[in-house]
Each structure stands twice: as C-alpha cells, then as structure tokens.
Chains A and B, each alone.
Chain A
Amino acid sequence: MISTWQTPAGMSRRHFMNHLAGSSAVVGASALMGGSIQAHAETLRKNRKSAILLWMGGGPPTIDLWDLKPGAPTGGEFNPISTTGDMQICEHLPQVAQQMKHLSIVRSMSTREADHNRGRYYMHTGYVPNPNIEHPSYGSVLSHELMSQRPELEIPPFVSIGGASAGPGFLGMAWAPFSVTSNGRIRNLDMRLDDRRLLQRMAALQTIESGFAAKTRDTPASEHAKVLDKTLALMTSDQMKAFKVDEEPQAVKERYGTTGFGQGCLLARRLVEAGVPFIEVDLGGWDLHQNVHATLKNTKLPELDKAMSALVEDLAQRELIDDTVVMWMGEFGRTPRINANAGRDHWARSWSCVVGGGGIKGGIAVGDTGRDGTAVESEPFSSEDLMTTVCKGLGISTETTFTSKNGRPMKIAGGGKLISELVS
C-alpha cells in the first residue's frame, strides 16, 4: 500500500498502473502481467478465436432475406438471386450474395418466444427467462471462455456496439458488455489528473471500498471493485486506440457504409484485430408491422448489405475469417402472412439465422420451411443448437459447465445439439 504513495523515478505510466491494479484489485485482469505469460502471447495470438454477433433488434423478416418463397401467397414482392454459395438470397442483398461462400443459412430455426424481451433473452442466452436465475449471455460466456487465449488484453473482452446486448447474469458485472456507440467514442475517458495523484486517490478508494464489502458481505459490494479494476486498466491502456474507428482510411469507411451499423461493423473488425473475443453490433428497426417491403428495400437492406458484406470481405482479406465466427440473427422472424398494413408480425416458429467463419462451414443452407415458410419441414434448430455449433466453431468444448450461484450446473449453450452440416 505505502509503495503506491510515491512513484519511483523512471517508471512508465502503464507499468505503474499495473502495479496499482495488482495491489488494489480483488482480481484485476491486468494483474496477470508476467514474463512467462508474455512469452506465450505470440503463440496464443495465432490461435485466438473471436466471434461477432450482428444483432437485428426488433425481429427481422427472414423470409424476405434468406428464405424467399417466390410465388407463394406469403412470398412478398422480392426475387431470389444466386450467390457465391450453394443457395439463393434476396435480390436486395447483392453484395452479401458475393460473400455467401463464407456464410451459411440455418433456415430451420424454430423457437417459442415471440415477445421482444423474452425472445431477446432467449436468443442471447439459450434459456427462457426465469425469475429465479439470471443467465449469462453468450457474449459473457464466450468471452469468459476465450479470455485464456489473450492474457495481454486490457480492454473489455465483451463489447456491444450501438446496443445493450444482454447481461452477464450470474457471472457477475465484470463480464458485462461494454456498451459503446458506433463511432467508438468513449465518454469520460480522460483522466485530467496526474498518475501519482490518481494512484493515491485509488488507495483511499480501496480502503473505503473493502471496508464496505467486509461489512455487508454481499455480492454487489465486492462486484463493484472488480469493475473499478477493469475501468482503471482500460483508462490506461494503449489498446484503446482500437476504438478509434475515425482513423480508418476514408475508402474503408465508405466500403462499410457511413451509417451507424456500417461504422459499427468496421469497429468490430478493429476490435477483433486488437484481440477482443466477443463483439456484438446492433442494427435495430426490424419490427416491421407495417410496410415491410418498402422499408426493407429503401432503408434496411441497403444498409445491411453494405456493412455485412464489407465486414465478411474484410475479415477474409485479412485472413481473420477462419478464426472469427460471424453470426446474424434477431429475437425471432416475422409472420409468413402479410398483414392488412402490408407488414409482418412476430413469428418464432420457422425462421432463419446466418452463421459462418471460424470453424463453421460456409456456402450452404440448412433446413427447409416448405412452400410457404409457415413450418419447418426438416430437423428444427434452437438457440442452444446454434450456439453449440458456434462453440464448436470456436474450439470451445461443448461440455464446458458453469455453476450458477445457487450451485446449479449449467452447460455452455444450454446443452444444445450440433448442427452437423455446419461443422466437420
């Protein structure tokens, strides 16, 4: 403790901060700095896996994007086009079509939750909401598992861009998504204080903090300290430059599209390069109860097409695609039937997700929803199945088990089954 009162001359700020994190922390992530670990860093970097979730808030009409039914009464007005994969998709996703060799479509998703909150929870965790337990989201779970591959990571391992994603549940606030806007600007990052004085303040803070935790013996009090550590590590890290999406060349920014989602996808690629294991990028506004086709054609699909195709193409060009799983999904699909307002309503019984990269096979469509899309006519798949397959693609054992606070064992990805067509 006393040593934190004076800065030895010549000590770098980063080194200094790590000292502090090591001494003040309950379990600071940055306290892991050590020579032997660093020696392995290069090997680890070669093998490290990441995942990007493109989250379509509101529930996208997948029947109009990935599983078209031309000619059926439910089909809508769009035509299918060929792709570089062995499937057809919507004509308004021409650039994504060029990347489909890297991505596969699961057309036989069949789930039960058609309410936004419940569906969001279920698709993010693999569990239905339960008043007795808060399940950790896939982002928390996967980043937790993948952290061992990147001991050098100082920025949060789970970043949510342009949305809130879903929480860490019983894993605790240290595994919560770090929520940022798509321009990557992070508020209140400037310290406005010299290092030595900050350290002294931190020492005072630690005294108050640990006193309260000891007195109440309750989790929220001790969780707080872990978040303080992560915050301190992030504030002082050079790795934060990964968030500076503005520094990308103009041509690259334009390739992704100068929309929130476009810049969010570009930011996601930068974070993968920096070693962040799980990134979610949100694109909302899919709750198309009215004017579904006009909205898709004029706004949603052009934005999606540009950003999603740029991301996959960029990952492939940088040789990151084989180590990065890309997922695309929302909380559910939308009704095959087109309603009186030319919209589609909530529908969970038969819909599509898209997945590729990492160890996951691209270029195929799995499952069949028949002539009009109203029912899955092949083996149905769930959130758990999809995530089990993603785990496999990331090299995470599907036998990995977590223990909730009340001692209940919980298998990663809810013990789903592999979608065997997608993994070898």
Chain B
Amino acid sequence: MTRSVLSLASLLLCLAAFPAHSVATAAGPALPAQVEKINQAIEQGWADYEIRPAKEVDDLTWCRRVHLDIIGRIPTATELDQFASTRGVDKRSKLIDKLLHDDQYTEEYANHWATVWTNLLIGRSGGNDRRDLTSRDGMQKYLRDSFARNKPYNTMAFELVSATGGSKPGTPDFNGAVNFLINKVNDEKAVLAASSTSRIFLGQQVQCTQCHNHPFNQWKQQKFWEFNSFFRQTRALRKFVDGTRDIASAELVNEDFKGESNEPEDAVVFYELRNGLTKVAYPVFTDGTAIKVSGFVSDVNRREELGRLMLESEYLDKMIVNRMWSLFMGHGFTKPIDDLGPHNPSSHPELLDALGKEFRQSSYDLKQLITWITLSKPYNLAPVLGGNNKIDDPSIGEMPKFSRFYLRQMSAEQLYQSLVTATKATAAGSYEEQEQQRRRWLQQFVVAFGTDEGDEATTFNGSIPQALMLFNGELTKNATDTKTGGFIDRIYKGGKSPTDRVTDLFMSGLARRPTTKEIGIARQLLMARKGNEKEMMQDLWWAIINSNEFIMQH
C-alpha cells in the first residue's frame, strides 16, 4: 500500500521533471540488463514449478539484510532512519550504491570481504599458530587493500596464484598474497596447493583424484598430477626465531624444478596408479592446454602460466558468480558451491552461465556483481516459507528456486561486528588491537579435524556453545552494560518516552518496531525492575540479541 502510493508520487515527480522520459519507471526504477536477466531466469523457474514467491520484503528488513551482506554488520538506528526517510522508487539502489561506493563505508566493506576471503583461503585458524608459515595479518592486509581499491577479481586470482615474496607485513619484499599458498607447497608435493587452487577458483574438486580416478568426477588421476605440476617450482623458505621453532618470517619463491628424474629441461612428475604402475605428468591445464616442460624458471614460470590459463577459463567466472550468489542468497546454484563438475547438477545452469559471461564483460568488477544480485527480485523477497512456495525448501534436499529469502545464521564475524560496531561493545583501540581482540574471540569457535589439510569446523553453528556465549559471554556482558556512555545509556538519554526507547532497542537490533505484545513485556519488565528503566532496557536488549530474529540473516 505504502509502496504503491510512493511509486505513484515519484512517477508524478518523474514525469514533471523529465516529461520525455520513458514511462517504464512506473513499475520501478530502470534496472541494469543483468538484473532483468536474473529476474527472468528466476521467474521462469517459479512458473515452471507453479509456485508463487514470497512477498517483497519490507524496507527496513531489507536495509538490515543488505548491510549485513555488503559490509558485514547490521545497520545502526541512524542508518535505518536515514534509509526510512529516503524518498523515491530507487531508494534501494541508492543504498546499495552508498554501501559500495561512499568513502565512509570503504573500510568496513574492505574489512568484511577480507574476512570472508581470509577464511576461504587459509581457513579460520591459518596463521594463528606461531609455527605456521602463514601470516594472517599479511593475508588480511593484502585482501583489505585489494577490496578497498575494488581490484578486479581476475587480477586478484592471478596474484594469489602466482605471488612471490615475504609473508609478513613489514618484512623486506612483503607481498601478502603469498599467504594463500605459502603453507600449501612444501609438504606432500604441493598436493594441497593444487587441490585448493582448483577448488576455490575453478570449482573443480580434485582432492580424491590424487590417489585414484574418481568414480563420478570427470577428473582423472592424470589430470590431478598435471595440474599439480604447475606448483612444483614453488618453495616456502622460513626463518626461525633464534632458539625456537617459531616462525620469524617466511618467503614464497620460485626455484628451478629439476623434476623427479633429475632432468630440469624435461621436469617430470611421477605418480602411482592403484595397481602399482608408475605414470608421468607435465603441467597441463584442466582444458588440455600444455605449457613448456622445462623446469627452469627462466624458461617458464609455471605458476604465472597457470594464472594466465585460469583467466581464460569460463570456470573462473562461474565459480566466483556461484560463490557470490550463495553468499547473498543463502544457497548457490550448485551444492556444494565449489563443485561445478558435470556430475553435479545446477539449479539454474543458463543463468549461472550468463552471469559468468556478464561478469567477465564487466571487467570482473565485484561491486557491479554485488549490485546486480542485491537489486534482483529474489534478493528482495521476504523470508517466508508459505503455502504457495512450500516446495522451495533446500533444507529438505530440493533444488533452490529462490522464491523466498532463505533464513541463515550470521557468521561469527558478522555477529561480532554487529555487536561491536552497532553497540560499541568493546573499547576502541588501534586497528591492530581491535583485530587481536576479534581474533581471540573468534578462535573459541574453531575446531580442527586433525588432518594435514587443516580441515576445520565451527561451533558457531547454532549449537549450545554459541547459545552459551550469547547468554553469558563477555561480548554480551559488554553489549548490555548500563555504564555511562554505553549503548544502553545513550538510548536511555535519547528517546522522548520509555516506549520510544523500547522502539529504539528493537530498531537497533531487529530493524523493526516492537509489537503490542512486546511492549507489554517491556512494561512487565519495568515493573519487575521496580521502575528502573535502564535495567529494564538491559533485560530487553539481552533478550533481543539472544533471539533467533537477531542471529538470523533474514
């Protein structure tokens, strides 16, 4: 109702100002062609399955959603207010634009995406051990700089795969990009470097084919070792802190590879079939393109060649599109998202393909890709599983139809950032101090699986340790503190009436006004607290941040 009135008003304005312009804006602002493409493909799916999508999500919930997804935290009450008072049918596109391009958000945008990619490239524990070659600081610094400058994605991929230099900020020849591979090349013939690179950047799961031909994967053992051969000129060098095994500094270098038969002009890799036969492999890319067989770096730099071949591969495009789509929509076009082989069906194969091509044509501008996804119809739906889209439930194994916004939990990092930034729950400090504090907090949720591949899981997954942390943890204690100048104190001194202030709490945490029932609860709490309003607010804020509505991205 409100929306149609608004649209009409803006249409009139629009017509008055630009009488010659198209009337198409009556249905909403003109959308980039890529968004139309997404909408058409997704709507076609709804028609095919005879489902009706959820309604469009309300403005404030959407505002919270897009803040969490783009800059990694919920909006403050002020940001919500500003958005609520923005006029025009293009208010959503304006907010996307602001979060992506306004200088005030550059740092948060860069930090958020650096966090996402650090976890992806070196895991949640990479670099946390003093004996680890990886420098988490170095990885984050490289990524923060890259996202702050909106470095094209293909450049980033190339740099991460081909980097040489020092791992730690401040060391000579520092190049943070080396941290992706520095702990993956020395052991086991760089098996981990090969499997991580192909999985993360190309969506090719090859780890099984190291030992045998995969039963239902097109990759064969031969292909694994050919791909692996690209990493065999690479070494990680280390310097220890005197008298310990702690890593002082590390460096990733390319060295001549003499091959496993000691002939650098013909630098070969051997591997063994399950029947005991030995076979040979040279660097050959997944599409069959071979490079020179020499192991001399002066003849051919194998990782740079790999980087170049990757940039030509359509799988590079599809993988990043699928990844970004799933980060925003809660599900990718495939499951798992980083397995794009023909054995693994995709929910919308043509759309995945088309978006990959569009992204390439946009010069790999991640901010454009984000704009297309967040403006698209499916991203703007309510998180409601209703009678008309009941079958759209990926949690029971259905292919996603994107007819609603799928509920999902915030990441531990998003929760932390939301409480810290929105409620200033920790003391300020330098970037480094804050980062150390954040890292310590995050570490409590990481559980390792004890493999050489550094596999890990998180207990920030909706289970009891997470609930205990939110009930009783330090972060909650700080967020609900009533001390002067704190979040609750500021709200307490702000609003006109107790009801106003209760509304402020709900807006800050849940981006909505309280219901009548919730106001009733607040009133009861106030009585129970014998009229101490600050304590009532403390109780209420505790309840808000412990709720499903707070912890869910919705």
Task: Report which A residues bind B (CB closer than 8 A).
Answer: 5, 57-59, 112, 114-118, 120, 131-133, 156, 163-164, 167, 170, 173, 176-179, 186-192, 196-197, 200-205, 207-209, 211-213, 215-221, 223-225, 227-228, 230-231, 234-235, 282-287, 289-290, 337, 341, 345-347, 404-406
B407 touches A220 (CB 8 A): yes
Residue in B closest to A222 when the chains form the complex, CB atoms: B548
- Complex Cα distance, B463 from A132, in Å, reads 22
B548 touches A234 (CB 8 A): no
B interface, size bucket: 35 or more
- Complex Cα distance, B335 from A188, in Å, reads 35
B447 touches A187 (CB 8 A): no
B444 at the interface (CB under 8 A from A): yes
- In the complex, identify which listed stretch (B44-52, B109-117, B517-525) lies at the interface while the others stay far away: B517-525
Selected from B188, B211, B385, the residue in CB contact (under 8 A) with A216 is B385
Residues on A with beta carbons closer than 8 Å to the beta carbon of B336: 131
- Complex Cα distance, B310 from A333, in Å, reads 35
Residues on B with beta carbons closer than 8 Å to the beta carbon of A58: 449-452
Residues on B with beta carbons closer than 8 Å to the beta carbon of A167: 461
Selected from B335, B386, B406, the residue in CB contact (under 8 A) with A131 is B335
A284 touches B450 (CB 8 A): yes
Residue in A closest to B528 when the chains form the complex, CB atoms: A200
Task: Report which B residues bind A (CB closer than 8 A).
Answer: 187-188, 207-208, 211-212, 215, 272, 276, 334-336, 344, 383-386, 393, 395-398, 406-409, 444, 447-453, 455-457, 459, 461-465, 467-469, 471-473, 477, 510, 515, 517-518, 521-522, 524-525, 528, 539-540, 542-544, 546-549, 551-552, 554
Known: A200-B525, A284-B451. 13 other contacts (CB 8 A): A114-B212, A163-B449, A186-B468, A187-B444, A191-B472, A197-B539, A205-B543, A208-B544, A216-B383, A224-B462, A225-B548, A227-B464, A282-B450
In the assembled complex, 22 residue pairs joining A and B whose CB atoms fall closer than 8 Å, in A order, are A59-B451, A115-B207, A115-B208, A131-B336, A131-B344, A132-B335, A164-B447, A164-B449, A164-B456, A164-B459, A187-B473, A205-B543, A207-B521, A216-B384, A216-B554, A218-B384, A227-B464, A234-B464, A289-B187, A289-B452, A345-B211, A406-B398
- Complex Cα distance, B447 from A177, in Å, reads 12
Selected from A188, A208, A284, the residue in CB contact (under 8 A) with B468 is A188
Residues on A with beta carbons closer than 8 Å to the beta carbon of B552: 212, 220-221, 224
A406 touches B211 (CB 8 A): no
B397 touches A227 (CB 8 A): no
- Complex Cα distance, B552 from A173, in Å, reads 15
User: In the complex where A207-B517, A231-B468 touch, is A283 in contact with B407 (Cβ < 8 A)?
Assistant: no
Residue in B closest to A175 when the chains form the complex, CB atoms: B463
Residue in A closest to B386 when the chains form the complex, CB atoms: A217
Residue in B closest to A2 when the chains form the complex, CB atoms: B524
B397 touches A188 (CB 8 A): no
Centre residue among A58, A133, A189, A205 by max chain B CB count within 10 A: A205
Residues on A with beta carbons closer than 8 Å to the beta carbon of B459: 164, 179
Residues on B with beta carbons closer than 8 Å to the beta carbon of A405: 393, 395-397
Centre residue among A59, A132, A225 by max chain B CB count within 10 A: A132
User: In the complex where A116-B449, A404-B397, A406-B396 touch, is A231 in contact with B471 (Cβ < 8 A)?
Assistant: yes
- Complex Cα distance, B208 from A221, in Å, reads 36
- Complex Cα distance, B549 from A216, in Å, reads 10
- Complex Cα distance, B554 from A239, in Å, reads 37
A179 touches B463 (CB 8 A): yes
Residue in B closest to A116 when the chains form the complex, CB atoms: B451
A224 touches B551 (CB 8 A): yes
Residues on A with beta carbons closer than 8 Å to the beta carbon of B397: 131-133, 404-406
Selected from B344, B457, B463, B544, the residue in CB contact (under 8 A) with A173 is B463
Residue in B closest to A284 when the chains form the complex, CB atoms: B450
A224 touches B188 (CB 8 A): no
Nearest Cβ on chain B to A109's Cβ, whole angstroms: 17
Centre residue among A117, A167, A192 by max chain B CB count within 10 A: A117
B517 touches A179 (CB 8 A): no
Residues on A with beta carbons closer than 8 Å to the beta carbon of B383: 216, 218
A200 touches B539 (CB 8 A): yes
- Complex Cα distance, B552 from A212, in Å, reads 10
A287 touches B528 (CB 8 A): no
User: In the complex where A186-B468, A200-B539, A203-B521 touch, is A118 in contact with B208 (Cβ < 8 A)?
Assistant: yes
Residues on A with beta carbons closer than 8 Å to the beta carbon of B525: 200, 204
Selected from A115, A132, A212, the residue in CB contact (under 8 A) with B547 is A212
A218 touches B385 (CB 8 A): yes
Residues on B with beta carbons closer than 8 Å to the beta carbon of A188: 465, 468-469, 471-473
